Amino acid sequence: DVKVTQSSRYLVKRTGEKVFLECVQDMDHENMFWYRQDPGLGLRLIYFSYDVKMKEKGDIPEGYSVSREKKERFSLILESASTNQTSMYLCASSLGGASGGREQYFGPGTRLTVT
Amino acid sequence: AQTVTQSQPEMSVQEAETVTLSCTYDTSESDYYLFWYKQPPSRQMILVIRQEAYKQQNATENRFSVNFQKAAKSFSLKISDSQLGDAAMYFCAYRSGINAGNMLTFGGGTRLMVKP
């Protein structure tokens, strides 16, 4: 059974703080993703990684950075949190490769509030 | 860039009845994959069903089936014999067939309520 875990379910931070969101998967997946989920907008891709130390920008990377030092762990960093980054953050992982409609497995989400 | 549109922010259905959730997408590609994901309240998102664009036959998974209309770029989800546990947010998603990174583009979601 694939398991994707996120370090916190709820997080409250102050404007300007540096925020780390951690994601760990236990199925040796090559690909890992960070999304933010907002009402009416669905999920929007922030960054993804297809290998250790490799990363690609998604649709909304501004204000975020990521780190993948180990295959199982993918971190999302908010260098200086702002109130418009208040959102639900979802991590996902999947097998690599170009072929096939590979399923993404999601973590439980972190609801971040920036005050 | 591809876009995915779910025109129904909320839907409700009586238990044991059938409901259809709509999804349309915009793409110039011929090779792609479509998905429906379910996000129950306070629980993790899970895959409900997937469809390969090159397959003419509509995908089915138990009570869940899709109506894939490639020319119309429509991908609706039908839930038969609705159960209380079907209450959730449902997201339609698109993946390009040439997308090596397996990135998904999601619609805005439809909240399904099931009435007992």
Instruction: Provide the pLDDT for residue B100.
Output: 60
Burial of residue A106 (number of CB atoms within 10 Å: 0-12, 13-18, 19+): buried
Cβ contacts from A onto B, under 8 A = 61
Mean pLDDT throughout B76-98?
Answer: 95
**C-alpha distances out from residue A21 to A76, A90, A98, Å:** 5, 10, 28
Nearest-by-CA chain B residue for A92 = B45
| Interface contact A89, partner B, CB < 8 A | no
Q: Does residue A79 surpass a pLDDT of 80? A: yes
Instruction: Provide the pLDDT for residue B101.
Output: 67
Q: Are B40 and B87 in contact (CB under 8 A)?
A: yes
Q: Does residue B86 surpass a pLDDT of 90? A: yes
Q: Between residues A101 and B8, which one has the greater pLDDT?
A: B8
Residue with tokens 């429509």: B74
Q: A98 pLDDT band (50/70/90 cuts)?
A: low
Alpha-carbon distance of B85 to A82, in angstroms, equals 36
Instruction: Provide the pLDDT for residue B96.
Output: 86
| Interface contact A58, partner B, CB < 8 A | yes
| Interface contact A60, partner B, CB < 8 A | no
Alpha-carbon distance of B32 to B3, in angstroms, equals 13
Task: Please report, as a single letter, which amino acid is at residue A17.
Answer: E
Residues of B in Cβ contact (< 8 Å) with A92: 45
Which range (A19-23, A27-31, B15-19, B65-69) has the least confidence? A27-31
Query: Considering CB atoms only, which of A35, A42, A56 is closest to B107?
Result: A42
Q: A107 pLDDT band (50/70/90 cuts)?
A: very high
Contact A108 B44 (CB under 8 A): yes
Q: Does residue B46 surpass a pLDDT of 90? A: yes
Contact B100 A98 (CB under 8 A): yes
Q: How far is A56 from chain B (nearest CA, A)?
A: 9
Q: How far is A99 from chain B (nearest CA, A)?
A: 7
Alpha-carbon distance of B81 to B57, in angstroms, equals 22
Instruction: Provide the pLDDT for residue B98.
Output: 75
B4: nearest Cα among A41, A39, A33: A41
Contact A40 B9 (CB under 8 A): yes
| Interface contact B5, partner A, CB < 8 A | no
Three-class SS of residue A84? Answer: helix
Q: Does residue A15 surpass a pLDDT of 80? A: yes
Percent of chain B with pLDDT over 90: 83
Mean pLDDT throughout A58-84?
Answer: 96
Mean pLDDT throughout B52-61?
Answer: 92
Q: Does residue B56 surpass a pLDDT of 80? A: yes
- What is the per-residue pLDDT across A24-49, written as a single tens digit (0 to 9) for each? 999 999 999 999 999 989 999 999 99
Mean pLDDT throughout A73-99?
Answer: 92
Residues of B in Cβ contact (< 8 Å) with A106: 37, 44-46
Q: Between residues A111 and B56, which one has the greater pLDDT?
A: A111
**Helices and strands, number each (H, E), in chain B:** 0, 12
Alpha-carbon distance of B29 to A37, in angstroms, equals 26
Instruction: Provide the pLDDT for residue B99.
Output: 64
Q: Which long-range contacts (CB under 8 A, 24 or more apart) does A50-53 make?
A: A50/A96, A50/B100, A50/B101, A51/A96
Query: Considering CB atoms only, which of B44, B51, B91 is closest to A42?
Result: B91
For residue B42, what are the contacts with CB-CB under 8 A and spacing of at least 6? none
How many angstroms separate the most distant Cα atoms in chain A?
Answer: 43
> What is the number of other CB atoms lying within 10 angstroms of the CB of residue B33?
21
